[in-house]
Amino acid sequence: MARMRVNGQALEFALDPATPLLWALRDAANLTGTKQGCGGTGQCGACTVIVDGSAALSCTLAIGTLEGADVTTIEGLANHPLTLALIAEDAIQCGFCLPGFTCAVAALLQQSPRPAAEQIDALPNRCACGMQPRLRRAIERVAGAGAPEPS
Ligand code: FES
């Protein structure tokens, strides 16, 4: 059992406390925008969500450690300036990496509205389709517009 807020909504997961947040979100809350890429080993970033304002790998977080946490998934970022910038830059191919990328960058922009290139390069999220240059342009578009408001 674990209670938390997800995209502004109070949710109670009646699951084993060891259940990874990734699977609680996907299977119990039907928030399937969050993806598993690397098999839950914490290496690919596809499962990134925002937990209490910071990017977090949902495949590595047991829900039992998240009592009272505030979680944002890609579904909660539909109107985020970054999402709109990604659309404007046509920075989407297969889309599999995009939910995790969007959450990771949205958290970064909250903490650092004009991130340095090194901060962007340090993100674990990579696009296997080769969209990295467009993803970077989307970040620059939002950073150039100033700090995004939380959505
Ligand atoms: Fe790859 Fe979580 S699924 S880091």
Residue 118 CB neighbour total at 10 angstroms: 7
- Encode burial over 75-99: b for 16+ CB neighbours within 10 A, e otherwise: bbbeebbbbebbeebebbeeebbbb
Which domains are assigned to the chain?
2-73 (3.10.20.30), 76-144 (1.10.150.120)
* pLDDT on residue 146: 52
pLDDT per residue as tens, the chain (151 positions) = 899 999 999 999 999 999 999 999 999 999 999 999 998 888 899 999 999 999 999 999 999 999 999 999 999 999 999 999 999 999 988 989 999 999 999 999 999 999 988 998 888 888 888 888 999 999 999 998 654 454 5
Q: What ipTM describes this predicted complex?
A: 0.95
Most informative mutation of 25, 26, 32, 36 for ligand 1 (most atoms within 8 A of CB): 36
Ligand 1 centroid to residue 89 C-alpha, Å: 25
How confident is the model at residue 68, as a pLDDT?
Answer: 98
| Model pTM score | 0.92
